[in-house]
Amino acid sequence: MQLLLVEDNVDLAANIGEFLESRGHSVDFAYDGVGGLRLATANTYDVLVLDVSLPGLDGLALCQRIREGARRNLPVLMLTARDTETDKLKGFDAGADDYLTKPFSLLELLARIQALHRRALGHDAVLEVADLALDPRAMTVHRAGERVPLPPIAFRLLEQLMRASPAVVTRAQLEQTVWGDAPPESDAALRGHVRALRTAIDQGRNPPLLHTAHGIGYRIAVDDDV
């Protein structure tokens, strides 16, 4: 993703930027509201991460200006040290899509950014393959109308497989989803998660939907032709 971070705390901005870039994202920085507005107007970004308390033009005013201009559909995640309901409502009234209170974990920040990006791309739509349905927003899975409980890792693997269906997703791609840039040395861990996923969605049900592409990866499809 191409991200814009508007944060006047230089050390915090550097910390956030380093973390996001380590996850493969590109980050542009602005340290005041005027600079943030200039970048947001001139460039195209997937998500804007915006501090409320900014010099020159505060985050609320900046968000309102963006909503009134050419980048009105830009997803905005607002950061603030203010955690009262009134402050949050002011942020949403200004046009923010989500609100994160300082201090926060960088992993939660990334999860919020990814959720906004998926929503902007329409990725919150329910995924369906045959009688298998996955709801990304509710984080639920059903097969033939019956709820299928899944642990978080299995859910993430299934979501990736269903988004790619009927194509094969390589083992490396699946490992990246689970472990990022530090995958285990052996593929036994991934095989274990896939085995648990196959048991959950396919055991006692027809047709089987999770197939192995030997030497390559896995796929979700009605048939097992690769």
Q: Are residues 37 and 108 in the same domain?
A: yes
Predicted confidence pLDDT, tens digits, the chain (226 residues): 899 999 999 999 999 999 999 988 999 999 999 999 999 988 889 899 999 989 989 989 999 888 887 677 788 999 988 766 677 777 778 888 888 888 888 988 998 898 888 777 766 678 889 999 998 878 899 999 999 999 888 998 999 899 888 889 999 889 887 877 677 778 888 999 999 999 999 998 999 999 999 989 999 998 765 5
CA 104 → CA 22, 54, 64, 81, 101, distances in Å? 18, 18, 24, 10, 6
- The rounded distance, in Å, linking the Cα atoms of 120 and 165 is 21
Rounded distance between C-alpha atoms, residue 175 and residue 10, angstroms: 34
What pLDDT was estimated at residue 73? Answer: 78
Q: How far apart are CA 132 and CA 140, in angstroms?
A: 11
Give yes or no for a contact between 50 and 6, defined as CB atoms under 8 angstroms apart: yes
What pLDDT score does 143 carry?
Answer: 94
* Cα separation, 221 vs 210, whole angstroms: 7
Is-contact 132 162, C-beta < 8 A?
yes
Question: What CATH number has the domain bearing residue 178?
Answer: 1.10.10.10
Residue 226 resides in a domain? no
Domain boundary (71, 89, 120) is at: 120
Q: What are phi and psi of 162, to 5 degrees?
A: -70, -35
Among the candidates 120, 143, 162, a domain finishes at 120
Q: Is residue 143 part of a domain?
A: yes
Q: What is the pLDDT of residue 116?
A: 84
Residues 138 and 101 in one domain: no
Domain total of the chain: 2
- Type of residue found at 43: N
Surface-to-core class of residue 144, CB atoms within 10 Å of its CB (0-12 exposed, 13-18 middle, 19+ buried)? exposed
- 140 and 214 housed in the same domain: yes
pLDDT at 212 (0 to 100): 95
What is the CB-side half-sphere exposure of residue 103 using CA atoms within 13 A? 3
Q: Write down the pLDDT at residue 163.
A: 85
Co-location of 58 and 150 in the same domain: no
Residues 75 and 175 in one domain: no
pLDDT (0 to 100) of residue 161: 93
Q: Is residue 97 part of a domain?
A: yes
Positions of E strands within the chain: 2-6, 26-30, 47-51, 76-80, 98-101, 127-129, 132-135, 140-143, 146-147, 169-170, 210-213, 217-220
d(CA 184, CA 153): 15
How far CA 132 is from CA of 150, 163, 173, 202, in Å, comes to 13, 12, 22, 10
Residues 51 and 91 sit within 8 Å (Cβ to Cβ): no
- Quick one: which H or E segment has residue 13? helix 10-22
Query: Is residue 82 one of the residues assigned to a domain?
Result: yes
Domain boundary among 95, 120, 145: 120
β-bridge partners, 100:
79
pLDDT, residue 136, reads 81
Give me the CATH number covering residue 82. Answer: 3.40.50.2300
34 and 105 belong to one structural domain: yes
Residue 88 pLDDT? 72
* CA gyration radius, the chain: 21
